[in-house]
Amino acid sequence: MQKLVIRGEKRLYGEIAVQGAKNSALALLAGCTLCSGEVRLTNCPALSDVFAACRILNRLGCKSRYSEHTAYVNAGSISECAVPEDMMREMRSSIVFLGAILGRKGQCELSFPGGCELGPRPIDMHLSALEQMGARITEEYGVLCCECPYGLHGAKISLGFPSVGATENIMLAAALAKGETVIYNAAREPEITDLGNFLNCCGARISGQGTSTVVISGVEKLHGCEYEVMPDRIAAATYMAAAAITGGELDLKNARAQELEAVIPVFEQMGCAVFTYDERIYINCKRPLKAVRTIRTMPYPGFPTDAQAVVMAALTKAKGTSVVVENIFCSRYRHVDELVRMGANIKAEGKVAVIEGVKRLYGARVRACDLRGGAALVLAGLGAQGETEVEKVCYIDRGYENIEKYLREAGADITRMTG
């Protein structure tokens, strides 16, 4: 078991190049299933979730390999349509393969993803949408069997909530379906725009990605292409929070300010100076941090749930009272108890967390319970007096490429240890 050992209170300073986006890369890798030629995904982050997606592709009979931030996938030889349970469990977001496999093979079998660290993760909207497109879905002993005897066809689908995964699954299933599919109340996250742009690069006919109405006109075939994965806006927000909690100064390369419009003002309210130019965000946090007005997580373009934990870590040291309301997931405060062990003053109940800023955090042995919560503990360790050990780094490795290397290059005292 690996852990990160951090000796805190070192001010971060320097440049960090932000990795490619995990949540885009995973959807794009699933999308490769639909293509007959080779796809080259550049700027693909080296993450355990990305490697898990490549293993799924190989299991399906595709040829995939990963080298130096590029994933090469050729699904010309796809032969299987089932994803085994151990692979589904390894990566909850493998549900996005459902629409892609069904679109390409006309059938798909995978185990029900069930709950995860963030609480129950229902997929009712994914399934109902695919049924509207002609899929027949049965569930037996936790295994989903999907088939479409007459092929998938276009449909007009209204989502009750702008679910990211459901929007992706519908886009993937509709790309090769007969006729036109319209998604109303679609998710507008930048990763959806990236998926639409990627599929179009492969020959799909998709418009409206990034707005709440996405229109997909099915085509006969998709071909290969070369495509650059978008930068990771949540990793960028995480490094901004690292600068804030250490009173540091970072210049983030490959960071798109327009995708962080709900996040940047929060750092400004905390008293940080933020300048954005080209694809860079510069943040300088010399002054003591101040509490912020209520943060409510919302679907994009609202404040992202994925940035909630890391911003909360910075707020633990902000003078005054801050309030966070988590509206997307029902169990996304598991980092709170661990932050409290480090001296933070946070009360969380239901959707609401109240953070009273403290003067000091103290190093402690803490455990990551999920990806973003784990990153929050690393940040707290950077801002704490003394030594912090963060256990269960495997959660953090799912979404952050070599987090300790980037932080160390910016001046942090952080080491990965085994055992």
Q: Which residues bind ligand EPU (CB under 6 A)?
A: 23, 26, 93, 121-126, 161, 163-166, 187, 305-306, 328-329, 371-372, 399
Q: Which is nearer to ligand EPU, 3 or 126 (CB)?
A: 126
Structure token pair of residue 354: 């109240």
Q: CB of 233: closest distance to ligand EPU in angstroms? A: 11
Q: Which residues pair with 137 in a beta bridge?
A: 146
Q: List CB contacts of 23: < 8 A, sequence separation 6 or more.
A: 93, 164, 189, 191, 232, 234
Structure token pair of residue 51: 């490697």
H/E run at residue 401: none
Structure token pair of residue 4: 């990160």
Q: CB of 123: closest distance to ligand EPU in angstroms? A: 5
Pairing, β 205-207 against β 384-385: unpaired
Q: CB of 130: closest distance to ligand EPU in angstroms? A: 11
What's the Cα-to-Cα distance from 402 to each of 108, 234, 416, rounded to whole Å?
Answer: 34, 15, 10
Strands (E), 80-212: 82-83, 107-111, 136-140, 143-147, 156-158, 180-184, 205-207
H/E run at residue 390: strand 387-391
What's the Cα-to-Cα distance from 59 to each of 38, 47, 81, 195, 395, rounded to whole Å?
Answer: 17, 19, 9, 22, 23
Find the catalytic residue in 35, 44, 81, 116.
116
- DSSP for 126-143, written as a single string: HHHHHHHTT-EEEEETTE
Q: CB of 26: closest distance to ligand EPU in angstroms? A: 5
Distance CA 151, CA 144 (A): 18
Structure token pair of residue 125: 């909207």
Distance CA 282, CA 260 (A): 13
Q: CB of 387: closest distance to ligand EPU in angstroms? A: 27
Q: CB of 69: closest distance to ligand EPU in angstroms? A: 19
Distance CA 165, CA 386 (A): 41
Q: CB of 117: closest distance to ligand EPU in angstroms? A: 9
Distance CA 93, CA 240 (A): 26
CB atoms within 10 A of CB 43: 19
Q: Which is nearer to ligand EPU, 25 or 364 (CB)?
A: 25
Q: CB of 299: closest distance to ligand EPU in angstroms? A: 7
Q: Which is nearer to ligand EPU, 317 or 398 (CB)?
A: 398
Distance CA 295, CA 167 (A): 25
H/E run at residue 3: strand 2-7
Structure token pair of residue 106: 């006309």
Structure token pair of residue 144: 């989903």
Whether 145 is catalytic:
no
- By C-alpha distance, which of 65, 67, 3, 68 is closest to 32? 65
> Which residues are identified as catalytic?
116
